[in-house]
Structure 1
Amino acid sequence: METASVVAEGRERRSVTRPASVVPEGRERRPLDRPCEIRVVRTDAGFDALEDSWNLLLRDADVSVFQTFEWLRAWWRHFGKDRKLHCLVFTEDGRTVGIAPMFQRPVRVAGLRIATRLRFIGCGISDYLDVIMARGYEESVLKALARYLRLHPEEWDIFEIIDVNERSPVFRTLPGLLREEGIDVYSYQGSACPYTVLPDTWEEFRRHIGQKMRYHLKRKKEKLSERFRWEIEIVRSPADDIDQAVREFIGIHEQRWKGLGFRSAFDDETHRAFHFEVSRKLAERDWLRLFFLKVDGRRVAVSFDFNFGRRIHVYLSHAHGPDEIMKLSPGLLIRFMAIERGIAEGMRVYDLLRGDEAYKYEELKCKRSENWLLRGVDRSRSSRIRFRLFLARELITKSAERLRREYYEFKRFRVTKEPSVITSLAFARSRCALAYKVGRTYVQRFVGGHGRATESDAGFQG
């Protein structure tokens, strides 16, 4: 048996025991007498003090750009209002081997607190959430996390991580460890994240996409060259005008979505401020890639990418311009040009992140990976009552959000398809059927019992 210490800011040290972790084959076995300490960081100053050890840990962890200190610290600065920091830092023999960046937030109904929710920093606008763990320490860290949750029920009523990818040890290992500690786990398949593996050369990639797509891409570029002057601009370093580039990206995004009848996420000033800050921070680390397609002096398409860990994270990609330009598929062209540049930089994966749009498979022959929502609840009677109250509130809130989403989907359909009355009614009926199916699955999953739900829809992930 190993000894694990739990140290919280302002709290007495306490010791517990946990089983020794299993060391993966081919990795060096660590001495079994090394203690695993868990330190709880609750202040902004404590968060800032983690930067150096956080960056050291990232060098030996399999994570995305959404687990970097730059991304999550900016998120906490802009979205952390009315939340309490609860960041767990795992150390062995003085070395940081894991970080679970979380926060607490009360769940209220009519002003009364019904539960405390323990969630991960970055939720909502981060395409992947995860526990940051050094390679070879994954099971040790996750066992310590599960044990911590059991020993500190006063800190939480609902433990939740959304958008954890199926590749993550958190998805594969943590649910079983939580159940061993007496915590029920509910899992729900949410968004899909299509990706394609990049070869060593651009020519190999051109062969991968097939003859039809190669011809289509060639013809679009030829027609663009015949009719307009165009060029590709790349904004990536602090020497570039980052703020102006982000403003133009937001402008293209807003025009595109509002033109389709949707609201823009950037209507919210906090959302805008976050993206300005995080873009500057990522540029300082040479992780930012803002690609623009400029036609006759006007930026008409953008791919807002992050190159991290030899993986291109395609955060947002949009195009908006006159009809004669849009007919030449500027969004398609900017994506392929970003891929060509990424291959030249040694990137190995082109990750289109959340969203199961057909073009991702048609253009790039992507593979599909899945993100999941995991929720943990203690088996005590009071905890289960709180959880059911939370679910009732959640169902009402998510139903309203789903109805709003379907309203905008219908507006987009009317704008882009110009359908007849019969076609419009058929579309509305199909979307209502989908919403009903998702809602029924949600109720069955969380109210009716345990196991997994596999209905893929991020609209009920919350």
Structure 2
Amino acid sequence: MYIDVIEDMDAFSQLRENWDEVYDADPHATLYLSWNWLFPWLENLNTPWVVLAAKESGSASRYVAFFPLRLDTRIDGTGRLFNDLRMAGSHAADYTGLISIPESEADAIVAFAQQIKRMNWADLVLDNFCGSDVRFSKLVSCFSQSKFTISQTDRVNKTDQVDNSICPYVDLPEDWDAYLETISSNTRQKLRRLLRAVDTNSEYRITHATKETVAADLNTLLRFWETKWRPRKGKLTDSLVRGHRGMLSRSFERGLLLLPTLWLGDRPLAALAILLDEQKKSLLFYITGRDESFAGPQPGLILHGHSIRYAISRGMKRYDFLRGNERYKYSFGVKEQRLYCYVVATRSGSNLGGRLDVRTLPDALKKATDLHQEGKIDQAARAYRQILETDPRNENTLHRYGQLLAGKSDHVAAKRVFKLLTRMRTDTYKPWLLLGQSCEAMGQYLDAANAYREVIRLQPGVPDIFSKLANVLFKAGRIEDARKALMTSYGVGVAGGEGDASFRVH
């Protein structure tokens, strides 16, 4: 089996037809692994991602399996950087994993694992992995226990004891009455009564979001959701709301969102965000929000009942409550499926290959720079060095590491860094300025003078640069040269021409 690594949107966009073919053939595929959901998600990710694409041979034109992944960067208290390889949909997708044509699955998984082991990471986070026991077992068996540890992640919420690795769902029959016979008589009677009231009572109504109303309907949903969850989630709430809004808005634009809202007159009572998978004939309940001050009929029961009835009328085959075994879900006659939540970690605790993934270096540099700005100098230095072990000519890292060394008065090391930068950044003055400052700090005044001359050649308007040049020349005993520099700074013509910076000192 041959693996291609897809890592840009242009290449991913060309996979649409092939991806849909594999998605349709995979009995375990869910909306979160559809091309239609993944495309806008990957397009808006702020961390690197890759899609591993498997085909029977290097010359084959059709892929038989895909494994979308993302790369995160973390840093410990000592400044050591690590990469985590995660499922591409992590932090938004209730279901993750891979998709494959069934007859190619085993070989594709082995090839995926071999490719993954050639990448640079410390943890492979298999979070919310959805698939058969055979699929998951085949994948983790490719990581030998002599080199890796494999541990399960506890997904039980300690506050309410909800197990988020359990996903209740309903297999939908062909008509509504047949569905009602699958639930308890008490729930059946409630649903009939409540939906009849909505259908016949002009006070209550249910609307579905349209192009004209979706922004307002999302605002209603997320306002209710925020009111309920902010006391528990605190500062995290704002980023969660932004994330929900972005993902749901993009889903609506691609025809993937059903957003029913229950109203009492002009007062919204509750709303559901449901993802719509026409390919797999599934509705996936994502989040809900309700007016907690409303004391009338149960809005959640009404909206879920309405949505299940709607799904059946559209010929859908599954109504999925997604993650969490909350008690109310079981009144709808659900079955359960369980997700795999595991971490495969290197026994060394360090990245495979002993270096960072080059795709993650911008994020690694940001983390190192944050440490530097916080005054955590030793940790920042360690992080900068680790980045340079992966990319010794990373210009931004060299620049900041050199500044850190100079700030520590390690001007010998700083000079080496800045000299390298002057050869790499031939069209900018800053490396020369920093080199001159380090040389001056070490008493290497002639070297400093030559560096400041380069600054003048590249950018004569740098504040006080002529004074800096004159100062080091004076310290080097080059009194006449210092005088020329000062005269030039005041715009006075001297031998060699006004403003002339052509001579070097030796």
Fold shared per TM-score above 0.5 = yes
Q: CA deviation at 1:315?
A: 0.9
Q: 1 CA distance for matches of 2:89 and 2:225? A: 21
Q: Compare the two structures and name the one with the higher strand fraction.
A: 1
One-letter code of the match for 1:77?
A: E
Residue aligning to 2:12: 47
Relative contact order (C-alpha < 8 Å, sep 6+): which is higher?
1
Asked if structure 2 preserves the Cα contact closer than 8 Å seen for 1:115 and 1:157, the reply is: yes
Q: Residues 251 and 181 (structure 1 numbering): CA distance in 2 closer, same or farther, change over 3 Å?
A: same
Q: Residues 94 and 214 (structure 1 numbering): CA distance in 2 closer, same or farther, change over 3 Å?
A: same
Q: Which of 162, 180, 185 pairs up with 2:150?
A: 185
Residue aligning to 2:53: 89
Following superposition of structure 1 onto structure 2, how do residues 301-316 of structure 1 map, counting pairs within 5 Å? 301-308=270-277, 309-316=280-287
Write the deviation string for residues 36-78 of structure 1: whole angstroms up to 9, x where unpaired.
Answer: 2211123343334434432333222231111122322333333
Residue aligning to 2:30: 64
Q: 2 CA distance for matches of 1:134 and 1:193? A: 24
Asked if structure 1 preserves the Cα contact closer than 8 Å seen for 2:248 and 2:257, the reply is: no
The SS at the match of 1:171 is: helix
Q: 1 CA distance for matches of 2:74 and 2:248? A: 30
Q: Residues 345 and 228 (structure 1 numbering): CA distance in 2 closer, same or farther, change over 3 Å?
A: closer
Asked if structure 2 preserves the Cα contact closer than 8 Å seen for 1:252 and 1:318, the reply is: yes
One-letter code of the match for 1:118?
A: L
2:126 matches 1:161: yes
Q: Residues 46 and 322 (structure 1 numbering): CA distance in 2 closer, same or farther, change over 3 Å?
A: same
Asked if structure 1 preserves the Cα contact closer than 8 Å seen for 2:3 and 2:53, the reply is: yes
One-letter code of the match for 2:227?
A: Q
Residue aligning to 1:425: none
Asked if structure 2 preserves the Cα contact closer than 8 Å seen for 1:265 and 1:271, the reply is: no
Q: Which of 296, 318, 322 pairs up with 2:289?
A: 318
Residue aligning to 2:204: 230
Q: CA deviation at 1:132?
A: 1.8
Q: Residues 72 and 225 (structure 1 numbering): CA distance in 2 closer, same or farther, change over 3 Å?
A: closer
Q: Residues 168 and 133 (structure 1 numbering): CA distance in 2 closer, same or farther, change over 3 Å?
A: farther
Q: CA deviation at 1:256?
A: 3.7
Q: Percent identity?
A: 20
Following superposition of structure 1 onto structure 2, how do residues 239-278 of structure 1 map, counting pairs within 5 Å? 239=211, 241-258=213-230, 263=234, 267-268=238-239, 270-278=242-250
TM-score of the two chains, using structure 1 as the length reference: 0.65
| Segment drifting more, 210-219 vs 176-185 | 176-185
Q: CA deviation at 1:169?
A: 4.8
The SS at the match of 2:260 is: strand
Q: 1 CA distance for matches of 2:249 and 2:189? A: 40
Asked if structure 1 preserves the Cα contact closer than 8 Å seen for 2:22 and 2:64, the reply is: yes
In the alignment of these two chains, the number of paired residues is 337
Residue aligning to 1:367: 335
2:68 matches 1:101: yes
Q: 2 CA distance for matches of 1:242 and 1:232? A: 14
2:261 matches 1:297: no
Residue aligning to 2:463: none
One-letter code of the match for 2:316?
A: M
One-letter code of the match for 2:294?
A: D
Q: CA deviation at 1:133?
A: 1.4
2:84 matches 1:117: yes
2:190 matches 1:216: yes
The SS at the match of 1:112 is: coil
Q: Which of 123, 140, 146 pairs up with 2:107?
A: 140
Asked if structure 1 preserves the Cα contact closer than 8 Å seen for 2:276 and 2:284, the reply is: yes
Q: CA deviation at 1:233?
A: 1.4
Asked if structure 1 preserves the Cα contact closer than 8 Å seen for 2:150 and 2:345, the reply is: yes
| Residue ranges of structure 1 left out of the alignment (5+ in a row) | 1-35, 387-462
2:165 matches 1:197: no
Write the deviation string for residues 242-266 of structure 1: whole angstroms up to 9, x where unpaired.
Answer: 33332332233223434x6654966
2:321 matches 1:352: yes
The SS at the match of 1:136 is: helix
| Residue ranges of structure 2 left out of the alignment (5+ in a row) | 156-163, 355-506
Asked if structure 2 preserves the Cα contact closer than 8 Å seen for 1:189 and 1:372, the reply is: no
The SS at the match of 1:178 is: coil
Q: 2 CA distance for matches of 1:264 and 1:208? A: 42
The SS at the match of 1:95 is: coil
Q: Residues 87 and 318 (structure 1 numbering): CA distance in 2 closer, same or farther, change over 3 Å?
A: same
